[in-house]
């Protein structure tokens, strides 16, 4: 990772949300936009699954949607190249991954360096990957939480923007812990996007500074 610093733009931004599932984080970001908390528009909600429930929600909310099926492409790079094309056509400033169940290639990470965020349901760098709420229960950690971070080619390893902590209780299951974490996700993801378009996020190496 380079040490050069990057500062997010202060502008009314154009967001692409990527999802593969129900899209509750997408909804939390869109609700924050509708309340006027975030100076941005969701220009497109994109999915790799045409029948993702989150896409139906987006249509209900009169948002533009797009989907591409990776099976129609020869390999990950070709798929991501097509995705980048979709985004460039829409002049996207920021991609928000919100339960997007596909690993991104370096191609898209580079094209959107410092303009690509993800939310992860654990306190990174602990528990990267999948099924992390179950892992937190299995390890008996006392605290877990959620992390919003910029995306780099190493999965779940990009600069951390914001985190929220929740206790892990003795009788927690994957479901109960996930529900407790999700409440926090819905607070910190819109907050991170708000700070981004207020021009207040500065990336220096692997650290993100929040400017006043």
Contact flag: residue 24 with ligand GRF (CB under 6 A)? yes
Contact flag: residue 98 with ligand GRF (CB under 6 A)? yes
Closest to ligand GRF by CB, 102 vs 204, is 102
Which residue stretch of 31-39, 42-50, 119-127, 194-202 sits at the interface with ligand GRF (rule: CB under 6 A)?
119-127
Contact flag: residue 123 with ligand GRF (CB under 6 A)? no
Taken in order 198, 199, 203, 208, the sign of the CA dihedral is negative
Q: How many CA atoms lie within 13 A of 184 on its CB side?
A: 20
Token pair of 22 as six digits: 């129900």
Contact flag: residue 25 with ligand GRF (CB under 6 A)? yes
Helix or strand or coil: residue 65? strand
Token pair of 92 as six digits: 């996207």
Q: At what angle do helices 174-197 and 24-34 cross, to 10 degrees?
A: 40
Q: Is 30 among the residues known to form the active site? A: no
Q: CA-CA-CA-CA torsion for 153, 101, 47, 158, nearest 10 degrees?
A: -30
Token pair of 209 as six digits: 């500074």
C-alpha pair distances (Å), 9 with each of 15, 58, 92, 94, 200? 13, 26, 13, 10, 8
Name which position in 121, 158, 159, 190 contacts ligand GRF (CB under 6 A). Answer: 121
Which residue stretch of 58-66, 103-111, 113-121, 193-201 sits at the interface with ligand GRF (rule: CB under 6 A)?
113-121
Name which position in 22, 76, 194, 206 contacts ligand GRF (CB under 6 A). Answer: 22
Q: Choosing from 30, 70, 120, 149, which is the catalytic residue?
A: 120
Cβ 9 to ligand GRF, closest distance in Å? 25
Contact flag: residue 119 with ligand GRF (CB under 6 A)? yes
- List of residues contacting ligand GRF (CB under 6 A): 19, 21-25, 54, 98-99, 119-121, 182, 185
Active site residues: 120
């Amino acid at each position: 990772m380079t040490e050069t610093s990057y500062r997010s733009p202060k502008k009314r931004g154009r967001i692409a949300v990527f999802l593969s599932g129900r899209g509750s984080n997408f909804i939390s970001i869109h609700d924050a936009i509708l309340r006027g908390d975030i100076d941005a528009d969701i220009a497109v909600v994109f999915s790799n699954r045409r029948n993702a429930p989150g896409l139906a929600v987006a249509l209900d909310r009169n948002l533009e949607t797009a989907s591409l099926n990776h099976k129609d492409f020869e390999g990950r790079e070709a798929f991501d190249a097509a995705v980048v094309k979709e985004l460039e056509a829409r002049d996207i400033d920021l991609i928000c991954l919100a339960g997007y169940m596909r690993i991104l290639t370096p191609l898209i990470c580079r094209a959107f360096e410092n303009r690509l965020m993800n939310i992860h349901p654990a306190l990174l760098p602990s528990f990267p990957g999948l099924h992390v709420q179950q892992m937190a229960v299995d390890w008996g950690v006392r605290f877990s939480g959620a992390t919003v971070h910029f995306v780099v080619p190493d999965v779940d390893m990009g600069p951390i923007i914001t985190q929220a902590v929740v206790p892990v209780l003795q009788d927690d299951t994957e479901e109960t812990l996930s529900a407790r974490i999700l409440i926090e996700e819905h607070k910190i993801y819109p907050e991170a996007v708000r700070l981004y378009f207020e021009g207040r996020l500065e990336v220096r190496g692997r650290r993100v500074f929040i400017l006043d």
